[in-house]
Amino acid sequence: MIVVHHLNFSRSHRVLWLMEELGLDYELVRYERDGNFRAPPELAEIHPLGKSPVIVDDGFVLGESAVILAYLNQRHGGGRFAPPEGSNAYFTHEEWLHYAEGTAALPIMALRIGALTGGVSDGFNTFLTPTLKKTLNHIGSAVGERGFLSGEAFMLADLQMAYLLEVADHGGMLGGHPLVQDYLGRLKARPAFQRAVAIGGPMMPQKRSRDAALDSGAARSD
């Protein structure tokens, strides 16, 4: 049986969500963040990076969410959430799958972490703000009013993107991007997503008053 090492408020929500989409049996091992919002040291006993997500499948240990999603989809899901391997559509989907934690993550995560750790410098903010807008416009153009990143079908890249957009939404960055807001809503409306939340908890913690004030500052930089 596949073992999913799940850290609360983390990217490992992606793995739980895909397991629920695929209807796979799995064992869930839970970890809680410490007072500094860091992963506990026990995770380093499973994978050298000491981060989540990590899966163990018959002794095979694998980290990094995009790779885990592709592995589960190919090995246990019949490839149903990706285009045919080797096709142009497959490589376009790969581009989106890795875009989430590559190019798109930079402005969103930098602004979010900056807001929660005392703010972003004016120079860095001047660099990040147009990059954020370009990123969200790119995603909005791809999904349109009713679609997903690769067209009409929900795929791994959409599942991968949801966490990043939830971070952006939590940080007040999606204002002025209704197509992206609607897209995130479509993703979160999926029954498998909701089952994953019920099992592993939400992707983001509930905002505290201090966080809300910091987020309002981040929103003004949009």
Residue 210's pLDDT is what?
Answer: 38
CATH for 88-220, options being 3.20.20.20, 2.60.40.10, 1.20.1050.10, 1.10.3720.10: 1.20.1050.10
Q: Delimit the CATH 1.20.1050.10 region(s) of the chain.
A: 88-220
| pTM for this model (two decimals) | 0.88
Contacts (Cβ under 8 Å, ≥6 apart) of 49: 63
Residue 34's pLDDT is what?
Answer: 85
Q: What is the mean pLDDT of each run of 10 residues along the chain (222 residues)?
A: 93 96 96 84 88 94 96 97 96 97 93 79 82 97 95 96 96 96 98 97 72 40 28
DSSP, res 34: -
CA angle 69, 53, 174 (to 5 degrees): 80
Contacts (Cβ under 8 Å, ≥6 apart) of 209: none
Residue 43's pLDDT is what?
Answer: 86
CA distances to 99, 175, 184 from 28, rounded to whole Å, are 28, 35, 26
Residue 207's pLDDT is what?
Answer: 67
List the 54-57 sheet strands across, edge first: 26-31, 2-7, 54-57, 60-63
- Gap between the Cα atoms of 79 and 56, Å rounded: 20
Domain 2-76: CATH class, spelled out? alpha beta
For the chain, the straight-line distance linking the first and the last C-alpha, in angstroms and rounded, comes to: 45
Q: Delimit the CATH 3.40.30.10 region(s) of the chain.
A: 2-76
